[in-house]
Amino acid sequence: MNRRQAYEAAERRRALTVAAVSTALVVAAIILLVPLAPGWPAVRASFFDGAVFAQTFPTLLRAFLIDVMIFAWSVPLILGLGLAIALARGARAPALFPLRIFGAVYVDVFRGVPVVLTIYLIGFGVPGLGLPRPWNSPYIWGTVALVLTYSAYIAEVLRSGIESIHASQRNAAICLGLSERDTMRYVILPQAIRRVVPANMNMLVALQKDVALLSFIGPVEILRQAGIYKSLLANFTPYVVAAVIFLAITVPATRYADHLLNKDRNARS
């Protein structure tokens, strides 16, 4: 080991020690100080009740499957519609001008209204038209509300991705004789989509959480089920259970997305 390596090893050891000690101090402070708070016994009883946790966990996990289902069928719809809106907003042909206007208005409206409000308006409003079963299902109209809102966001993300691809790429494709359409499909879009994967993953993690908002219009998914338990047992622990279940899904999902991105980057360099 030469002088430089010895120095760097010592630096690393020192950094690790400092990090370990400071983390231990913070954790110890939380463990020691929080229980000293006057309301702690009450909080522990109503939020961290082990018996309630064990009792409600299986049912809440089952209710969470409804969230997962709604998420699963929303995602393809959101990505498809988002892409269509992004392309509509970029359409330059005069005949497609109405499409461009529509795309702009769509994005403005659904990004401008809070998700909860869209869910209320569509989830209660449309079935109010007196549609026959199953067309009055809150699952359908709740999904529609989520798709409308999130596709507006995804469309903007995709559009920024498309615009970030340098004009020289388009020129190279055009000069080979490719049509505008093929240039978009084979040259611009694949690069644009790849570039916005992280932003879109963040969108999907947010969507996974916002599915719980559908509890306001009917479906007994995890948040509503937790609410039922809260009233039944006069205890908030079911909400903590729900939070834990959400984290168990969203944290690995985000990490996996990062991993995929890194793998893709490494494969090509």
Least distance from another protein to the Cβ atom of residue 174, Å: 7
Q: For residues 250 and 205, is the Cβ–Cβ distance under 8 A?
A: yes
Helix ranges (DSSP H) in the chain: 3-33, 40-47, 50-90, 97-112, 115-125, 138-164, 167-175, 180-182, 189-195, 197-210, 222-233, 237-267
- Residue 17 or 171 with smaller CB distance to another protein: 171
How many CB atoms within 10 Å of residue 134?
A: 8
**Taking the complex as a whole, how short is the minimal distance between the CB of residue 53 and another protein, in angstroms?**
48
As measured in angstroms, the least distance from the Cβ of 173 to another protein is 8
SS (H, E, C) 58-72: HHHHHHHHHHHHHHH
Token output for 187:
């040259």
Q: How far is the CB of 160 from another protein (least distance, A)?
A: 18
Q: Which is nearer to another protein, 167 or 234 (CB)?
A: 167
Q: Which is nearer to another protein, 190 or 252 (CB)?
A: 190
Q: Residue with structure tokens 């989509």?
A: 193
Nearer to another protein, 62 or 194 (CB): 194
Residue 106 tokens read as 């769509």
Q: Which SS3 state, helix, strand or coil, does residue 138 take?
A: helix
CB of 190 to another protein, least distance (A): 5
Q: What is the DSSP string of 23-63?
A: HHHHHHHHHHHGGGSTTHHHHHHHH--HHHHHHHHHHHHHH
Residues in the site for another protein, rule: CB under 8 A? Answer: 168-169, 171-179, 182, 186-187, 190-191, 194, 268-269
Rounded to 5 degrees, φ, ψ at 3 are: -60, -45
Q: How far is the CB of 166 from another protein (least distance, A)?
A: 8
Give the torsion sign (CA, 5, 7, 8, 12).
positive
**Of 4 and 268, CB closest to another protein:** 268
Least separation in angstroms between residue 185's CB and another protein is 9
Query: Closer to another protein at the Cβ: 258 or 264?
Result: 264
Cβ proximity to another protein, 4 vs 166, nearer residue: 166
